[in-house]
Amino acid sequence: MRTSSTPDKSLREGASAAWPICLGYFPIGMALGVLAQQAGLGPVWIGLMSVLVFAGSAQFIAVAMIDGGATAASIIFTTFVVNFRHVLMSGALAVPLRGVKRRFLLLFAYGITDESFAVNMTRFRQGHWDRWRALVVHHTANLTWILATITGGVVGTLIPPGSFGIDYALPAMFIALLALQLHGRIYLVTGTLAAVIAVVWKLLIPGDSYIVGAAVSAATLGFLLRRRAFSTGKEGE
């Protein structure tokens, strides 16, 4: 959706929408920085990881694999699989960004995360939201994450892992973001299916493929349910 706005207004409104994400990112980013420092990475390498990867769950997995002595190939492949969900999020955001130039999309795509996706999709559905505000959300959160992980790497062992409830911050943030997406019965069913599939997949198949498997399976089932509801005139449920 295109709306008229000045650069200052887009910056203010985008930053206002991003600050809850930043509030959650900082303790989680610092926790990652502490763990990465304990795994032998210095602040520069931690910063480069956040700039080049910018994906919290994948970075946590990569740090754990580095600490465990995993090969570079296995780390790269695992990170790719975990981050494959970004293809689904990018596809959803392509709808409100239809017709936007490719150069902008390259800059925009770099900042997509679970949190920024949830915030921007909610705002796009509500209306009066445009690509510039969405871009500010992405890169305000991006900058906060990079600074937080570097800070965690600098302070190192001064912040023990799990202190101040940091270990619960990430699940709590995802639960809150999920709640914002539950606009009807189909969304609730899709979220429940994703949770059930993820748990069963994790129990039956070793590794981290359950993240992608549950996301793709639940999204596909949700799409089929939505199409069926649309064909029967019950799309709004």
DSSP 129-179: --HHHHHHHHHHHHHHHHHHHHHHHHHGGGS-TTGGGHHHHHHHHHHHHHH
Alpha-carbon distance of 142 to 86, in angstroms, equals: 15
Taking every pair of Cα atoms in the chain, the longest distance, rounded to a whole number of angstroms, is 59
What are the E-state strand segments in the chain?
none
CB atoms under 10 Å from CB of 19, counted, come to: 13
Alpha-carbon distance of 199 to 197, in angstroms, equals: 6
**If pLDDT is split at 50, 70 and 90, which confidence band does 1 have?**
very low
pLDDT in tens, 189-200: 888 888 899 899
Report the pLDDT averaged over residues 93-103: 85
**What percent of the chain stands above pLDDT 90?**
8
Identify the pLDDT of residue 46: 92
1 or 73: which carries more pLDDT confidence? 73
Identify the pLDDT of residue 195: 87
**What percent of the chain stands above pLDDT 70?**
85
Q: Give the SS3 label for residue 100.
A: coil
Over the range 116-146, which residues count as b (16 or more CB within 10 Å of their CB) and which as e?
Answer: bbbbbbebbeeeebbbbbbbbbbbbbbebbb
Report the pLDDT averaged over residues 120-125: 87
Report the pLDDT averaged over residues 204-216: 76
CB atoms under 10 Å from CB of 37, counted, come to: 22
Q: Which residue has the tokens 């990430």?
A: 170
Identify the pLDDT of residue 166: 57
169: number of CA atoms within 13 Å, CB side?
23
CB atoms under 10 Å from CB of 209, counted, come to: 15
168 or 10: which carries more pLDDT confidence? 10
- Mean per-residue pLDDT of the chain: 80
Report the pLDDT averaged over residues 206-216: 74
User: In the predicted model, is pLDDT for residue 101 greater than 60?
Assistant: yes
Alpha-carbon distance of 207 to 204, in angstroms, equals: 10
